[in-house]
Chains A and B, each alone.
Chain A
Amino acid sequence: MKSLDVLATAYNSIRSNPVRSFLTSFGVTAGVTAVVALVGLVSGIGGFVQNEFEGMLNSNAFEITRRNPDFGDSEGRNASRSWPSITAENGEDLAVYTDSICTVAWEGTSSGAVVFQSSTALDVSIQGCSPQSEIVHGIVVEYGRFFTETESDARSRVCILGADLAETLGITEADVGSAVKIAGHRFTISGIEEASGSAFGVSMDSNVRIPYSTYQNLFSRPGSEVVITVMPLDGVTLEEALEECVSIMRNLRGLTSDDENTFYAVTQEGSLSSINELLSAVGAITIGIAAVSLLVGGIGIMNITLVSVAERTREVGTRRALGATRLDVVRQFLSEAVAVSLLGGITGLALGTGIISLVSALTPVPAVVSPWSAVAALGFSWAVGLVFGVYPAWKAAGLSPVEALRYE
């Protein structure tokens, strides 16, 4: 039998049984679409989350906090509720004792309305910032200036507005030095920050910052919770600074060597890796879902194939009686099955890619079709064609012609 005739026979068979061919390729299409779209979405979301976090965090810093960085650790979260608060006093003490190796900043957070002339912004996050917050968080003041240590010590009522907040209130460069009301208290605008973008769709530029001392005086009580951020000085590694701060915190809290820490010291890498853990858990679930959809597709194909096995086995018997060799039969079914399932696979890849493009066009998630999922998808279609399409034919070709002809 000529090769061209093998292909022509396969093509005729595909075309002459459109329902079977369509259903077979549809099962593959469904499975491949699911795999390509899901894998693309999850890796897109993963990249997105990581990106946003990287924008938010300072890679050369760590936090001292009661917040458990491990998303999965509910036990740890419960335990941390009974720990003492992380306070501004802790921050001050750390700053004093680690003066030579790091810079320590802390912030407390409250919220309230900010009013400028006739404009009002409700529910603004009010950040009480320590003098070193500017350095540690890399705050850039575009117009005006950050508040001074003197202003901090004097509990001055000065504030720095986030770029978006300033815009909302109609505050411009010219208004630096003017008055705003923060939660009913009169403040002087000392500066306006440079825009730093958003994370997870939430603007990072809609805060108002005031000196921590002022914050404590007006919005908080002594001993209330803050987040401490520590940045090592030049020539000091993050690990050295972390070790030192942990040991000082333990001393401050009077922990003996048997006691566990009653705080977390979390590097950005630490929180990223716990995010990555979360994402890989999501990834595993995705792979599970994808596997199930492939299985469902595969079962559909098997069903169709099983129905046609009897018909196909007798077809094999007839062809063999008319002079087809085993090789002719296997070649024919191989090209037929691979053609059908590759067609399904390519359609699925196209559909999955379409879904992914739609998602990245309509949402901020930069979803992409990962090359390995495309390869896996086409490999899967090939395997499905082989297993479900060729296997019965292979078995039929193994029978003697008379057995194939008698097949019920």
Chain B
Amino acid sequence: MVVNGTGLRKVYRMGEVEVEALAGVDIKIKRGEFVTVTGASGSGKSTVLSIIGCLDRVTSGSYSLMDRDVEIMSDSELASVRNQFIGFVFQTFNLLPRATSVQNVELPLIYAGEGRRERREKAMAMLEKVGLGSRAFHRPSQLSGGERQRVAIARALVTEPALLLADEPTGNLDSTTGNSIMELFQSVHNEGKTILLVTHDPEVAVKGTRTIQLKDGLIERDVSN
């Protein structure tokens, strides 16, 4: 089991007001699944992704990733879990603006403690794989939106993580570019990668093998496509 969460609750406290972003979610993801999470804005999609990605901790419930109990881990252990097991793709790409494509892709390998040459080799290979070998020494500002997202995907995959997490990866792209990015996700999935992808777009959601629909912090529907 890649992801195993039961009774996940997340409450945000803003002064006096409490917002229950997740109200008790059970979610299990097996190796090789391509799960899409949809729902209206504010339904808790990003929250679920950040819990699964160990970017944040649950208020209550139990969660294990790759059969490791992450609740009891320290912050630095979580950092190493993220580095080893998870690749993140964001809506806004989150590339370092002044680093080249290959430097951006190398970033997670630096935190993994890999040597320079291996880093460069792996990053170049991954850029080739997403079709951006020729843009390795361009900066994000010299790339189109679709190209930026490809760099981000290469960065997410370069550590060969067990789970690829993406939050609205097509949200800032036009539909043609979005489709080609979704094709990239599908081909990554076809190679056996486990993926969880958040989107508010039903047309994107159906590209997964399974779709979870959230409403007000609860699972409304969980169907195979």
Q: Shortest distance in angstroms between B181's beta carbon and chain A's nearest beta carbon?
A: 19
Given contacts A16-B99, A314-B94, A405-B94, A321 and B76 within 8 Å (CB-CB): no
A314 nearest in chain B by CB position: B94
The answer to the question of A5 belonging to the interface, with a C-beta cut-off of 8 Å to chain B, is yes
Given contacts A1-B110, A327-B76, A321 and B53 within 8 Å (CB-CB): yes
Q: Is B110 in contact with A16, judged by CB distance below 8 angstroms?
A: no
How many chain B residues touch A (CB < 8 A): the figure is: 28
Q: Is B56 in contact with A320, judged by CB distance below 8 angstroms?
A: no
Chain B residues lying within 8 Å of A17, measured Cβ to Cβ, are 98
Given contacts A12-B99, A315-B96, A405-B94, A323 and B53 within 8 Å (CB-CB): no
Chain B residues lying within 8 Å of A209, measured Cβ to Cβ, are none
Chain B residues lying within 8 Å of A405, measured Cβ to Cβ, are 55, 90, 94
A323 nearest in chain B by CB position: B83
Within 8 A of A (CB), among B45-99: 50, 53, 55-57, 75-76, 79-80, 82-84, 88, 90, 94, 96-99
Q: Is B94 in contact with A320, judged by CB distance below 8 angstroms?
A: no
Given contacts A12-B103, A401-B56, A402-B55, A322 and B111 within 8 Å (CB-CB): yes
Q: Which of B76, B82, B103 contacts A322 (CB 8 A)?
A: B82
Given contacts A321-B88, A323-B82, A326-B76, A9 and B110 within 8 Å (CB-CB): yes
Chain A residues lying within 8 Å of B159, measured Cβ to Cβ, are 323
The answer to the question of B113 belonging to the interface, with a C-beta cut-off of 8 Å to chain A, is yes
Chain A residues lying within 8 Å of B79, measured Cβ to Cβ, are 320, 323-326, 328
The answer to the question of B44 belonging to the interface, with a C-beta cut-off of 8 Å to chain A, is no
B98 nearest in chain A by CB position: A16
Given contacts A1-B110, A318-B94, A319-B107, A326 and B55 within 8 Å (CB-CB): no
Kindly state the interface size class of chain A when it binds its partner: 20 to 34
**How many residue pairs bridge A and B at CB < 8 Å?**
74
Q: Shortest distance in angstroms between B154's beta carbon and chain A's nearest beta carbon?
A: 12
Chain A residues lying within 8 Å of B112, measured Cβ to Cβ, are 323
Q: Shortest distance in angstroms between B198's beta carbon and chain A's nearest beta carbon?
A: 13
A323 vs B50: C-alpha distance in the bound complex, in angstroms?
14
The answer to the question of B169 belonging to the interface, with a C-beta cut-off of 8 Å to chain A, is no
A320 vs B50: C-alpha distance in the bound complex, in angstroms?
12
Chain B residues lying within 8 Å of A317, measured Cβ to Cβ, are 94
Q: Which of A13, A318, A321, A326 contacts B75 (CB 8 A)?
A: A326
A17 vs B76: C-alpha distance in the bound complex, in angstroms?
28
B80 nearest in chain A by CB position: A323
The answer to the question of A400 belonging to the interface, with a C-beta cut-off of 8 Å to chain B, is yes
Q: Is A400 in contact with B76, judged by CB distance below 8 angstroms?
A: no
B50 nearest in chain A by CB position: A402
Q: Is A322 in contact with B96, judged by CB distance below 8 angstroms?
A: no
Chain A residues lying within 8 Å of B97, measured Cβ to Cβ, are 311
The answer to the question of A2 belonging to the interface, with a C-beta cut-off of 8 Å to chain B, is yes
The answer to the question of B108 belonging to the interface, with a C-beta cut-off of 8 Å to chain A, is yes
Chain A residues lying within 8 Å of B107, measured Cβ to Cβ, are 319, 322
Q: Is A1 in contact with B111, judged by CB distance below 8 angstroms?
A: yes
A325 vs B98: C-alpha distance in the bound complex, in angstroms?
22
Chain B residues lying within 8 Å of A326, measured Cβ to Cβ, are 75-76, 79
A325 vs B97: C-alpha distance in the bound complex, in angstroms?
21
The answer to the question of B193 belonging to the interface, with a C-beta cut-off of 8 Å to chain A, is no
A16 vs B97: C-alpha distance in the bound complex, in angstroms?
9
Chain B residues lying within 8 Å of A2, measured Cβ to Cβ, are 110, 113
The answer to the question of B155 belonging to the interface, with a C-beta cut-off of 8 Å to chain A, is yes
Q: Which of A12, A319, A324, A400 contacts B55 (CB 8 A)?
A: A400
Chain A residues lying within 8 Å of B56, measured Cβ to Cβ, are 400-403
Q: Is B103 in contact with A400, judged by CB distance below 8 angstroms?
A: no
Q: Is A328 in contact with B94, judged by CB distance below 8 angstroms?
A: no
B77 nearest in chain A by CB position: A325
A9 vs B96: C-alpha distance in the bound complex, in angstroms?
12
A405 vs B50: C-alpha distance in the bound complex, in angstroms?
10
Chain A residues lying within 8 Å of B84, measured Cβ to Cβ, are 323
A90 vs B103: C-alpha distance in the bound complex, in angstroms?
90
Q: Shortest distance in angstroms between B111's beta carbon and chain A's nearest beta carbon?
A: 4
Q: Is B111 in contact with A328, judged by CB distance below 8 angstroms?
A: yes
B interface residues, Cβ below 8 angstroms from A: 50, 53, 55-57, 75-76, 79-80, 82-84, 88, 90, 94, 96-99, 103, 107-108, 110-113, 155, 159
9 interchain pairs, CB-CB under 8 A: A320-B55, A321-B88, A322-B88, A322-B155, A323-B80, A323-B84, A325-B80, A326-B79, A405-B94
Q: Which 4 A-B pairs have the closest CB atoms?
A: A323-B83, A16-B98, A323-B111, A402-B56
